[in-house]
Chains A and B, each alone.
Chain A
């Protein structure tokens, strides 16, 4: 494709949320008809970048962005998604935005239907006119043909297989007359292999017709096969802008997770300096076999692992690959199956109570939804689980028949943890909902610690916390591990964090353990596992792409 004049030009895009910098100086161009792949770890800034491009209100509600976006050679500053749509940019999100009881045609033309004319329009306005279904059907057929696939324009969406729903979504973006650029966010995540192939084929067809495409995906194989160029984001920066023809999956994976030379050296030095654990080859305390978990968005398909006593075991991987499903399934929060053994005894799944009674505890990644009682005080939040499962902080009355809640004991427990974790609050009775994100996280952890567990799962323990608090949390985890011998399983999107405190780290890809590495392993190896690419390495000169 002749990159004479780019249709989209991002110049020095930057964004910070309340002082937390997410994007810095990102620039790249997209030519008409070009397919650009956008890859990066979680938190690299991909979704924020797309939110800026698409004019999502959350962006300008939090202070706008820096830099400039040029579309068709004119500077644009979209403030709502509709402005972006009007300009000719379409976006296909991961979650389907379809009306289940409507046909394909009705969905493709949602809120852009064709009307029959009538005098009533003049009196009552446009909405009173009846729909011209024949014209609508031919318009939708046109959009479907553009994709180069077959879709029944009269089928109800709720009766369609998932792949067809995805295509309907895309057809809707194409149905707009002036569409020039389409962004697709993980479009193949829910498709079968053959559906994915069909989709890639349609995208090539579109590209040939001059529609530019931004393709966001973690499936590097597809990215390398389909795209003309690949842009790698890391820590909010545009690290590299490669031609797909001349790169390999391995190179891209390394770029995704690598660090600058200095940072890399520092991490390697830290790693080496860590004392080797006495429990280096301890007994396996937790064995998991054939675990599957039905957690929407984080499905686990078949996980096998074995964690040693006293170990700090890390689980990493890209978002949506299933790492979060593992602790949620093991702690009974989502339907799960498989066999789990703790200290040699089997553990029942699908029962939070059973997991807690076996002295496993969980600091959930979903602070506000699962981890906290937002309307109750810090004391309730920290003491509650221990009270219910271990009968702590209650005074038995009438010979144990009645268990009276001891507010005083709960209060002193809370005070203890407020000091230990440096939780900034007005006191143990402050409502958890009014704490800052970082302090809420600390409360969640305190709740897990208060159970004095044998095995502690912590999920995204430092997400959204400032640097100082991060260190405190990680140090406390290390302390618990050292002093009480608590086995810790830490799930995190931040590879660095995992490598800094874990002994071994497993990487989850598409619901399975792709590999387990010691923390000293080179970072590119982790990158390859995260991209699922350790097995199928495309040769340096990939035949794919355009």
Chain B
């Protein structure tokens, strides 16, 4: 029993660490429990969809999809248009999602193809591609919109006459998904419809894993060479994983923004990749394995940390910035740690795979060779 307990602790070290950390930080911050619970309920509905978008690329062996930002950009463009055309409420949100679809599919196909050109470096490539695409996005949103791309509502534009404003209010669609099915329990507002959407996409993921293409993705994710030798179309399968991920990110960003109520044209999407990835990892996922529970646990813990850090910092040292920096440090640090663990595991696995080829009764003494 003891060793089983140990194994449990090792496997879930990250989650446990974070629970302890937050358990200490909450009282220090002095924030009321009611407030925290309401915030978490809200944020689960708002952010989970985006984090779920990360699951398929992990399954397909492509690691943490920093390129999901491309989908977020697509979603934002969709929202910009519906705000411009003055379409409100659920139809507006729906239309925004539909507009984002073809953009997401194209960007996802592009991202997947580029990642296929950089096998073994998918994560860095996605990371840089997100920055690159950000440049193109800004080119479009700040220079092409209002000039080459007609914008009907002049209120959307910057004072210079073209380019979308820095902050776009989403008054027409604000919280329309959240409020669709109003429910209040014990003074806490629960965004039922958002939860329903998340449940739906979770079912989609679970079903997807059971399909042939899901199986192919799993095979490709574990061993590209074996999958290729068996006739599975490796490149196409990988691209499909990224395309679905990007599409989900686009839809997720629309859900995210309708809850926030505003778009920061140049910045809303920038950190979304990093936040979503950090949340997923804090929830116990790794670069090679992630599931729905990781998403939900991760979003909860990550956002609790988000909420309590500034106040905890202020009460501890007298500086709210301290908490803010600490939170960012934790986000970056947990990703760094996950990447290190991944490389470690990979090197160990290769070592063990080679050991198999020794065959039969080998005098495998413990002494490993020296040097590199």
Contact = CB atoms under 8 A, between A and B. Distances in A.
Contact of B216 (A95, A127, A350): A127
Interface string A440-451: 000000000000
Interface string B327-356: 000000000000000000000000000111
A97 B230 contact: yes
B212 A294 contact: no
Nearest to A295: B358
B222 to A, nearest CB: 5
A127 B364 CA distance: 44
A111 B359 contact: no
Interface string A335-352: 111000000000000111
From B210, B225, B357, B362, name the one whose CB has the most chain A CB atoms within 10 angstroms: B357
Interface in A95-122: 95-102, 106, 110-111, 113, 115
Nearest to B359: A190
B215 A336 contact: no
A334 interface: yes
Contact of B219 (A82, A110, A115, A292): A110
B365 interface: yes
A189 B358 CA distance: 9
A323 interface: no
A394 to B, nearest CB: 23
A111 B217 CA distance: 11
Interface stretch (A58-66, A253-261, A267-275, A296-304): A296-304
Given A101-B218, A130-B207, A292-B365, A111 B232 contact: yes
B230 A110 contact: yes
Nearest to B357: A296
Contacts of A542: none
A351 B210 contact: no
B234 to A, nearest CB: 11
Contacts of A336: 369
Interface in A233-288: none
Nearest to A121: B212
A99 B223 contact: yes
A100 B222 contact: yes
B5 interface: no
B369 A299 contact: no
Nearest to B368: A335
A192 interface: yes
A131 interface: yes
Given A350-B369, A352-B371, A294 B215 contact: no
B271 interface: no
A297 to B, nearest CB: 5
A296 B354 contact: yes
A100 B357 contact: no
B101 to A, nearest CB: 16
A111 B230 contact: yes
A191 interface: yes
A332 interface: yes
Contacts of A517: none
Contacts of B218: 99, 101-102
A337 B355 contact: no
B354 A191 contact: no
Interface residues of A, number: 41
A95 B222 CA distance: 16
B222 A128 contact: no
Contacts of B355: 294, 296
A190 B356 contact: yes
A535 to B, nearest CB: 18
Interface residues of B, number: 35
Contact of B363 (A99, A111, A292): A292
A104 to B, nearest CB: 14
Contacts of B187: none
Contacts of B232: 110-111
Contact of B211 (A95, A101, A127, A351): A127
Contacts of A332: 369-371
Given A97-B226, A336-B369, A350-B370, A129 B211 contact: yes
A238 to B, nearest CB: 29
A126 B370 contact: no
Contacts of B1: none
B357 A191 contact: no
B357 A95 contact: yes
A162 interface: yes
A81 B228 CA distance: 12
A127 B222 contact: no
A106 B369 contact: no
A131 B357 contact: no
Nearest to B217: A127
A351 B370 contact: yes
B232 to A, nearest CB: 5
B227 A99 contact: yes
A99 B61 CA distance: 13
Given A97-B226, A99-B222, A129-B211, A294 B359 contact: no
B367 interface: yes
Interface string B206-246: 01001111011011001101110111100000000000000
Nearest to B220: A99
B159 to A, nearest CB: 48
Interface string A208-235: 0000000000000000000000000000
Given A127-B213, A337-B365, A97 B370 contact: no
A281 B355 CA distance: 40
Interface in B159-213: 207, 210-213
Contact of B362 (A82, A301, A334, A352): A301
A335 B222 contact: no
A383 to B, nearest CB: 22
A362 to B, nearest CB: 15
Contacts of B219: 99, 102, 110-111
Interface string A196-212: 00000000000000000
Contacts of A130: 207, 210-212
A364 to B, nearest CB: 16
Given A162-B356, A294-B369, A302-B363, A101 B222 contact: yes
A98 B227 CA distance: 9
B64 to A, nearest CB: 19
A97 B232 CA distance: 13
Contacts of A95: 357
A103 to B, nearest CB: 11
Interface string A416-427: 000000000000
Contacts of B10: none
Nearest to A115: B212
A289 to B, nearest CB: 14
Contact of B215 (A126, A131, A191): A131
A82 B355 CA distance: 30
Contacts of A294: 355, 358, 362, 364, 369
B369 A335 contact: yes
Interface of B: 207, 210-213, 215-216, 218-219, 222-223, 225-227, 229-232, 354-365, 367-371
9 closest A-B pairs by beta carbon, nearest first, are A335-B369, A190-B359, A127-B213, A296-B357, A111-B230, A350-B370, A296-B354, A110-B230, A130-B210
21 contacts: A97-B230, A98-B226, A99-B218, A100-B222, A106-B215, A110-B219, A111-B216, A113-B215, A126-B212, A130-B207, A130-B210, A162-B356, A189-B359, A190-B360, A294-B369, A296-B354, A296-B357, A299-B359, A335-B368, A335-B369, A351-B370
Interface of A: 81-82, 95-102, 106, 110-111, 113, 115, 126-131, 162, 189-192, 292, 294, 296-297, 299, 301-302, 332, 334-337, 350-352
